[in-house]
Structure 1
Amino acid sequence: MASKVLHAIYRDDDLLLQAVKQIREARYHIGEIYCPFPVHGLDKAMGLAPTRLAITSFMYGLVGLCVAVAMMNFIMIEDWPQDIGGKPSFSFIQNMPAFVPIMFELTVFFAAHLMVITFYMRSRLWPFKKAENPDVRTTDDVFLMEVDAANHNIDDLTDFLYKTGASEIKLIE
């Protein structure tokens, strides 16, 4: 059996948020929602798990800090120690106040760049990827909700979606 999906179009973000709550209470499965802008509270209304991207950002920052410390220790202390401005290069601890800006910058650099790469990989975005937007109007002024209709009566589900405030409903097979 082919999967059936109903595309319900909503014109207002508050109406969409109320519809999501009603649809979840009725135990229908929402596959995806396409919005022209972020809707505050939509992720909680859909029951999505919180993101773990902040944890990965922290870990990437720690990697950047470790790379900065190892790089400066090797370059400025072990490999080629120099007396710059009267500051001796006997140990990393003695010179650490001068290294703080570099440690900060590499922490931010690693966290930012690796987060962008992680976000694109997690979202399955890459160059030359074909857009997956089912309706071009969702980039401008309407909200589209995909509701799984495989195991439900299409007419009942369509009536229910109209009652939640949908302005258009289209069956996709």
Structure 2
Amino acid sequence: MQEKIHTDKNKVNTGSTTEIALTGLLLAAAIVLSVFESSLPPVMAAVPGVKFGLSNVAVMYALFFLNRRQAVSVAVLKSLFVLFTRGPMSGVLSLAGGLLSIFVMLLLMRLFKDRISYLMLSIAGAVFHNIGQLAAVAAMFSGIYMMAYLPVLLVSGVAAGAATATLLKFIMPAFQRMR
């Protein structure tokens, strides 16, 4: 996935009805991917909580091809789904990771414009999603031992980012037909 970001050429000009419909479809895709991923065995049984974050593909698509408002909407609504289906802790972790991830990807898109690939944005998003989750846990619980988990989260973020970028590449034609 070496394609470069083309910030304005690939964006969809949407009216409010189309924007709402696309956001709903992306949220549905995120929920389906989340449910599918939760039915899979753990990626690394020895390291709890490490996942590929397949549902983030929908958020990344919204960010790359629609607009930041839709990406934030999908991330927040996805976090509400997680809250209702997996509990408050999971909901907070999803929201913290999702919002930090979007912020970092937006920042990188602004700084590097079309000189950064979807792969690099996806990896940065996944790494910062994990950092956001770790920061949320650190805010709720005390203990220096949590920081020992950071290297594992950084490595798993790189792997997850590469996996979600690859999945986005294969799913993109289906998403493009939704527009």
* TM-score, normalised via structure 1 length: 0.29
Larger radius of gyration: 1
Structure richer in helix, relative to its length: 2
